[in-house]
Structure formats: structure tokens, C-alpha cells
Structure 1
Amino acid sequence: MSDSPEKPLRVEDGDELHEVIDDHDLVLVDCYTKGCTLCQAIEPVVGNVARATDATVVMVNPGNDLSLVETYDIRSVPTLLLFEDGDLVGRMADGFQGTDAVVGFVEEAAN
């Protein structure tokens, strides 16, 4: 399935996240926490990425499912994870990044 939504999807836990990863070819996951100012700042950026790339963008709070912290070694937020065909192919955990940087990350990691 390659048609990606125009705006980020929100999922509650690892089960919902893995369903989206299984159902789409290219998935960018935004791991955030409530009250994180950098996470709030990057939210419009990932919205732009959803419109500018073929990636399905998903937002998940790993605090709702701590197994995600362990599984994906999330040490800071925001952390962006890129999956292609179900495999983790990229990680960006450098704090706030602008639209161009994140679009470039998605396009470079997906090639």
C-alpha cells in the first residue's frame, strides 16, 4: 500500500504502530512525549513531511507503551524512526530539525 495520508496518524501503542508499519511501504514514526517543547515544535514539520513525501507519518508517545522505548532504543525525544517494508532503515534523534532536513532524511534513507 503506497498511498499515504496527508497528515500524521496518531497511534496509542506498539500494536497499532506495528499495524501501520505492516500496512505501508514507507513509514516515518515520530516518538514524542506530552509537554516536550521540541516535540511540539517538530509536529508541524512531520505534517509537512507527510505532504511532501511518500512516507506515512505516525506519531506515538512511547510513554503509553514502554516496550517501544526498549524495542527501538529511544533515549530522547523527539526521535524519528524510518521504516521501509517493515524494516528500520533510519533514525534521527538530534532534537528539532526543519522540514528540509527531515524530508532529506526520509528520501536519503529510503533510497
Structure 2
Amino acid sequence: MTEFTATPVQLDTEAELDAFIERHECSLVEFYAEGCPLCQAMGPVLGNVARSTAVAIGLVNPRDDLELVDRFEIQSVPTLVLFRAGEPIATRADGFLGGDEVVAFLEANAPVTVADGD
């Protein structure tokens, strides 16, 4: 059984990220940078998505961790990576997304999990 949280979880290290991904059947992780206005604007959106779906949401700032950036092919921020069973299954790197766009992304890639949160 996966632990459900109704708010995004800050992940400070690659080990925390890996544990978060493994702990949840389905999770969405935002890769962000401090000082990025688009990333900051995503915060409230992801909070709303966390409360309205059964998808666990994590936040990670890869900072200068080039291995983490390479591992998930992060080329811009914010980048959203959707995981199922510990594996990345979909990515969005389109800048700011509204709540409806994030939910549509989740529904397209993890519809059963999104429906569970309604």
C-alpha cells in the first residue's frame, strides 16, 4: 500500500527522490530551480493537484547535480516527470501548466490513479 499525502513533498537528495518514487505506485515529480518564476507559480497548482488526485507529488531542485539532470534528461525547468512502479513513463517540460493541464497530463498517462482521487 502506498502512503498518500495531500501536499507536495520536498525532496532534497537523489536518495530521497528514489525512495519517494519507490514508495508510491504513481508519482509526479517537478524538477525546479530556485528563483525560477515559472517554477514558483507551479507550487500552488501542484498543491491543488495533490489534493484533488491520488497521485503523490514531489519537488526536487537538482541544483548542481549533473548526474540527476542527466538521469532524467532535464533540459529546462519546470519539468514534470510522471512515474509508475518506479519508472518514468511521461515527461512535460512546457513551462507553466495550469491545474487542468496537469490533471489532463495525468489522466492521459495514469487515468486509474487520477480517478481514484475524485
User: Is TM > 0.5 for Structure 1 vs Structure 2?
Assistant: yes
Q: Tell me the CA shift for residue 64 of structure 1.
A: 5.2
Taking every aligned residue pair, what percent have the same amino acid on both sides? 45
Q: Give the match for residue 68 of structure 2.
A: 68
Give the distance between the partners of 1:99 and 1:109, measured in 2 at CA.
Answer: 16
| TM-score calculated relative to the size of structure 1 | 0.95
Q: Secondary structure at the match of 1:18?
A: helix
Where does structure 1 differ by over 2 angstroms across 4 or more consecutive aligned residues? none
Q: Give the match for residue 5 of structure 1.
A: 5
Q: CA offsets, 1:91-111, max 9 Å, x none? A: 010000100000111121114
User: How many residue pairs are counted as aligned between the two chains?
Assistant: 111
Q: Is residue 52–residue 103 contact of structure 1 (8 Å, CA) maintained in 2?
A: no
Give the distance between the partners of 2:14 and 2:107, measured in 1 at CA.
Answer: 25
Give the distance between the partners of 1:6 and 1:88, measured in 2 at CA.
Answer: 21
Q: Tell me the CA shift for residue 3 of structure 1.
A: 4.0
Question: Structure 1: any 5+ residue segments left out of the alignment?
Answer: none
Q: Is residue 4–residue 50 contact of structure 1 (8 Å, CA) maintained in 2?
A: no
| Aligned-pair Cα RMSD in Å | 1.1
Give the distance between the partners of 1:36 and 1:82, measured in 2 at CA.
Answer: 21
| TM-score calculated relative to the size of structure 2 | 0.89
Q: Tell me the CA shift for residue 13 of structure 1.
A: 1.4
Q: CA offsets, 1:37-72, max 9 Å, x none? A: 000011111111111111100000011533210100
Q: Give the match for residue 36 of structure 1.
A: 36
